[in-house]
Structure 1
């Protein structure tokens, strides 16, 4: 699988590390049920079949965080953008 890095061009997936789906809101650590919320956040992800956004880190390249739109059934990548571009 090749990932189109905005800085480095098309690179092999072995240069990247993924942390999974993008967009899942991080739980509030001060909430009374924080332990259960973090367990759910870390271990009970949906794992949907089809297109989804994921965070990938270009560890052996430019060391940028990317948001990649990838189909989990075919591994076809529709787009890859810098993760910080979606943060306000």
Structure 2
């Protein structure tokens, strides 16, 4: 069982958390002006790197708060966790 370090609750088992997708994806400034293809790109198209990647996570069985994490998608190891709205920590090769 892998432990994930919630910024508020501390280390907890991974079954307490839910993945929320890629972190730092900006909501369109004028969503009503997007055509169907542009809207589909915003909703469905995300990066899928092999290596460090910034993600959103929810501690759904604990404090229920959202946070960001940099996780290596190859090893599944968490490199850093930080609160939503916080500055992304510098980790080698991390992507948005």
Matches within 5 A, 1:55-70: 55-70=56-71
1:14-42 per-position Cα deviation (integer Å, ceiling 9, x unaligned): 11111211112222312142x32221122
Structure 2 counterpart SS, 1:49: coil
Q: Separation in 2 of the partners of 1:75 and 1:37?
A: 31
Structure 1 portions without partners, runs of 5+: none
Matches within 5 A, 1:29-68: 29-33=31-35, 35-68=36-69
TM-score by length of 1: 0.84
Q: Number of residues paired by the alignment?
A: 85
Structure 2 portions without partners, runs of 5+: 88-96
TM-score by length of 2: 0.78
Q: Separation in 1 of the partners of 2:76 and 2:42?
A: 24
Q: Quote how far apart the aligned CAs of 1:53 are.
A: 0.6
What's 1:71 paired with? Answer: 72
Q: Separation in 2 of the partners of 1:3 and 1:75?
A: 11
